Chains A and B, each alone.
Chain A
Amino acid sequence: MTVSANELALELKTQALANARRNGSEGVVLDALEGASFPQRKSERWKYTSLQALADGHLNGVAAGDIAQPLPALSECVVSITNGALTGSTLPDGVSLHHESPEVNGLETPFALYNSAVARAVVLEVAANTRVAQPIHVQIQSASDAPAHCNPRVIVKLNTGAEATVIEHYHAEGQALTNAVTALITADNAKLTHYRLQGEHASTLHIGTLVIDQQGVSTVDSYQLMTGNRLRRNDVHALVNKSGAELNMKGIFVVRNKGHVDNQMCVEHAVPNCESDQNFKGLAGESGKAVFNGRIHIHPGASGTNAELSNKNLLLNAGAEINTKPELEIYNDDVKCAHGTTVGQLDAMQQFYLQSRGIAAAEAKRMLSLGFVNELLMALPHEKVAEWATPWLEAELTQASPAGADAA
């Protein structure tokens, strides 16, 4: 079924509103959803991502399937959210779980607003001056045989002086659409290490917003690893809101076989003397499509800001596509801002070298691709995560450059 983008936008809005009303939403959130304009063909922020897949009716049904291949636990502390609802939790001392969601700033997409209107938030609050040694593994899983959606909403709140590691881990099967919102809120002297692992099945859809709201002088390190599926859209909105705060984001995206990944990053510096650093690497093979929009916005008062962004990409095959746009919007002269972007291919000389040593073309390509992202994989601070992520990405890379496909 193909419908025009305009009709689809209208249809999605109708469905979202109906679902929200059925859910008993009212007040500000409903007003926001009602006022939101759903992406149309010419919406700038959705230029490279079509929502046509949603014409299958994902918003009409709610996912309720059983998870066939559940995620392995990467820690002793696990919080399970299945089809949008909390299904279990083992928490370390100093971390409490409740459902009283604080207000989340920086939500922009209509999907995030829809999530706000219907979701029951899972709030993980780390008590002041507590250092949680064990990572908290938040497993967000969904499954549905027919097109259906769910709205997981996770809020991680670090109070003053708290220190924690949170692994946000997605898994979906069948035809599920995961419409997720995650917010990380940090107070003074907090230190958060965050992982966002997205390896849902190729047939599933994911539309997610990640908000990083640094309300205090805090450090947030975020590692985002993702593979492509039928539709993956990540809106990441970081608000570096207190002088002295520091934000580091590193990420890898691999798309293959009609996979799609659209990353819309926006880092806003509103106060003086903050730092942000972003380093993302992308690989696109077969008919995969990757989008990376990295925006740094420096407000007039944010003097002394140091903001950097690097996005390097490899295009592995004909038919694959990479669209990248590193944006700078700067309203202050006393800043240091730089971004760099490249789109290229594997070095033919390096491949030749490996092949001359008797390594098959496909294997050589896989080794070099892995080498390309290795710098970021090596930087993952938790061994358990690295142990899980390396073979996962490796498998993905093997398929991204099939044997014999222009192995020049």
Chain B
Amino acid sequence: MSQAELDKLIRSNYEAGFTTQVDTETLPPGLSEDVIRFLSAKKGEPEWMLEWRLDSYRKWQEMPSPSWAHLKHPPIDFNEVSYYSKPKSLDDAPKSLDEVDPELLATYEKLGIPLHEQEMLAGVAVDVVFDSSSVFTTFKEKLAEAGVIFCSISEAIKEHPELVKKYLGSVVPQGDNFYAALNSAVFSDGSFVYIPKGVRCPMELSTYFRINEANTGQFERTLIIADEGSYVSYLEGCTAPQRDENQLHAAVVELVALPGAEIKYSTVQNWYPGDENGKGGIYNFVTKRGVAHDNSKISWTQVETGSAITWKYPSVILRGDNSIGEFYSVALTRHMQQADTGTKMIHLGKNTKSTIISKGISASRSQNAYRGLVRISPRADNARNFTQCDSLLLGDQCGAHTFPYIESKNPTATIEHEATTSKVSDDQMFLCRQRGIDPEKAVSMIVNGFCKEVFKELPMEFAVEAGKLLEVSLEGAVG
């Protein structure tokens, strides 16, 4: 599409006083087909992509917003959200770390984050210049050598349309649910990973290493394809709290594990949770799902400490025989945070196995719910599931809830589910304090022990940081 055509398209669709806005490259709040056309044109997307988005938008309009979760929030006005804004201009951002909220800096300090990373996370307007021997460049070279494609999804739409066309929406269809449909219509950017047949990805992939494209915004879309016999470990997010003004986040992550492949997906989510009175904070509505073909394995690990509202169910469709699905989760809520999170394991193939370990910790006045589904279809012979969801309550004003759906239609399947609820026991506290450990440190030690089963699934450096993160999050939460 030539520039002239593009301009024409933009202008023709924004007759209603829209053209002036185009110059500033930030759309006024509101969602319509025109907004989507603008967005798609701005990104220089091919026609099929635009059609796909519009199709999703039409589906979204017909859908009611879900109300089944154990969450309370005022209705979201989707016309108050701006669906395209130019990455923050350097003028608006803080000039140096001196201008950044000292509380945020104190947290970075405790987490032991290097200075230049701190600047990046706090959104300081510095040009991140990597010298030619930087980690970043070395990474790119190494990945290219192995044949791994790791780029932004916008880039993939242009460079690898055949892969995107084949797999985008194949796991989470456009009309899957309300927020997935919204994401499909307006997704801004995200990551794309393709691991060729038989390749073991030489390093852990992380959004952090796509630093130049990090500002992917509120409607992120990730697509990871692991071809036959390949392996990849992907890290999403960062243990440090992220400065983010967006209220609403609706991301979609799709994983495709082809026969014999293995995908390990780890997340640390630490968006702004709002203050102790529940003011502000991110609404995080995420759809994450993977399809596991024959002999493949998908493993989700998540540490959720941020967001005012978390609505997230990383799932695995165990389509192929002998496929394996895993879900390890730690969800910590405090202040007025609300989390409704869990997983779905859909067993379709024979000899499929799934494991669910969920640890929920609620403090102050927060509500923390585990919601899960284990479904064994009639032809999933010898399917096996084990689920354990434990809750820890800190304080008498919080809530911990479990809603595990178990549906079995196969007489050879074995399903086990266990849940417990407890508090930090007086005996444990007494023992720690007797040894001279102050109460806050003691609680964080006990909580860390409670989460150990999940932390050991995280890549090593991540696990250390996650432990520290819990410690920081618990500060002041224990009374």
> Which residues of A line the B interface, CB within 8 A?
44, 300, 303, 313, 315-345, 406
Chain B contacts with A in 39-92, Cβ cutoff 8 A: 68
**CB atoms of A323 and B406 under 8 A apart:** yes
Residues of B within 8 A of A335 (CB): 393, 421, 423
Given contacts A327-B402, A332-B393, contact A343 B415 (CB under 8 A): yes
Report the bound CA distance from A223 to B404 in whole Å. 25
Residue of A nearest to B418 (CB): A340
Q: List 14 A-B contacts (CB under 8 A).
A: A300-B396, A326-B417, A327-B401, A328-B419, A330-B391, A330-B393, A330-B421, A337-B421, A339-B402, A340-B419, A342-B416, A343-B414, A343-B415, A406-B411
- Consensus secondary structure, chain A interface: strand
Please state if A332 and B411 are interface contacts (CB–CB under 8 Å).
Answer: no
* Measured CA separation A320–B416 after assembly (Å): 18
- Decide: A338 near B417, CB < 8 A? Known: A323-B407, A327-B403, A343-B406: no
Whether B19 sits at the interface, judged by CB under 8 Å, is no
Considering the complex, give the chain A residue whose CB is closest to the CB of B421.
A337
Shortest C-beta distance, B342 to chain A (Å), equals 12
B397 neighbours in A (Cβ, 8 Å): 300, 331
Q: Mark B388-406, 1 if CB is under 8 A from A, else 0.
A: 0001011111111111111
Tell me the smallest distance from the CB of A362 to a CB of chain B, in Å: 15
Known A-B contacts A300-B396, A325-B405; the reply to A320 vs B411 at CB < 8 A is: yes
Q: In the bound complex, how far is the Cα of B380 from the Cα of A315, in angstroms?
A: 14
Q: A44-B68, A322-B406, A340-B417 are in contact. List 19 more A-B contacts (CB 8 A).
A: A313-B408, A315-B408, A318-B410, A322-B408, A325-B404, A326-B404, A328-B401, A328-B421, A329-B399, A330-B391, A330-B400, A332-B396, A333-B395, A335-B421, A335-B423, A336-B422, A338-B420, A341-B404, A344-B413
Closest Cβ of chain B: how far from A282's Cβ, in Å?
11
Our pick among B394, B411, B414, B419 for the contact of A317 (Cβ within 8 Å) is: B411
In contact, A343 and B413 (Cβ under 8 angstroms): yes
- Cα–Cα, bound, A345→B397 (Å): 41
Contact A338 B406 (CB under 8 A): no
Are B401 and A330 in contact, with the CB atoms below 8 A? yes
Cα distance, A155 to B407, chains bound together (Å): 35
Contact B412 A345 (CB under 8 A): yes
Report how far A20 CA is from B420 CA in the complex, Å.
45
Residues of A near B419 (CB, < 8 A) are 326, 328, 338-340
List residues of chain B with CB within 8 A of the CB of A339: 402, 417-419
The CA-CA distance from A343 to B401 in the complex, in Å, is: 22
Give every chain A residue within 8 A of B417 (Cβ-Cβ): 326, 339-342
Indicate whether A315 sits within 8 Å of B396 (C-beta atoms), given known contacts A323-B405, A342-B417. Answer: no
CB–CB B423/A315 < 8 A:
no
Task: Say yes or no for B229: interface residue by CB 8 A criterion.
Answer: no
Query: Beyond A327-B402, A329-B399, A333-B396, is A344–B414 a contact (Cβ under 8 Å)?
Result: yes
Q: Which residues of A contact B278 (CB under 8 A)?
A: none
Number of interface residues of B (CB under 8 A): 35
On whether the beta carbons of A336 and B413 are closer than 8 Å, the reply is no
Q: Which residues B360-411 have CB closer than 8 A to chain A?
A: 376, 378, 391, 393-411
Contact status B421-A336, CB under 8 Å: yes
B416-436 contact mask (Cβ, 8 Å, vs A): 1 or 0: 111111110000000000000
Contacts of B423 in A (CB 8 A): 333-335
Enumerate B310-356 residues with CB–CB distance to A below 8 Å.
none
Q: Complex Cα distance A313/B415, Å?
A: 10
Residues of A within 8 Å of B393, CB to CB, are: 330, 332-333, 335
Most-contacted residue by chain A among B394, B411, B415, B416 (CB, 10 A): B411
* Distance of A406 Cα from B410 Cα, bound (Å): 12
The 8 Å CB contact of B415, one of A300, A317, A330, A342, is A342
> Residue on A with the closest CB to B406?
A324
Complex Cα distance, B413 from A317, in Å, reads 11
**Nearest CB of chain A from residue B37's CB, rounded to whole Å:** 34
Residues of A near B402 (CB, < 8 A) are 326-328, 339
- The CA-CA distance from A323 to B402 in the complex, in Å, is 16
Cα-based distance from A330 to B397 in the complex (angstroms): 10
Partner of A345, one of B391, B407, B411: B411
Partner of A325, one of B394, B401, B403, B412: B403
Q: Which of A336, A343, A406 has the most CB of B within 10 A?
A: A343
In contact, A341 and B396 (Cβ under 8 angstroms): no
Residues of A within 8 A of B409 (CB): 320-321
B347 to chain A, nearest CB (A): 12
Q: Which residues of A contact B416 (CB under 8 A)?
A: 340-342
Write the chain B residue with the least CB distance to A341.
Answer: B417
- B394, B398, B400, B413: the one within 8 Å of A315 (CB): B413
Minimal beta-carbon separation of A353 from chain B (angstroms):
19
Q: Shortest distance in angstroms between B461's beta carbon and chain A's nearest beta carbon?
A: 33
A312 to B, closest residue via Cβ: B416
User: From residue B331, how far is it (CB to closest CB) to chain A in Å?
Assistant: 15
In the complex, residue of chain A having the shortest beta-carbon distance to the beta carbon of B416: A342
* Chain A residues whose CB sits within 8 angstroms of the CB of B396 once the complex forms: 300, 303, 332-334
CB proximity of A345 to chain B, nearest CB, Å: 5
Q: Which residues of B are found within 8 Å of A337, using beta-carbon distances?
A: 420-421
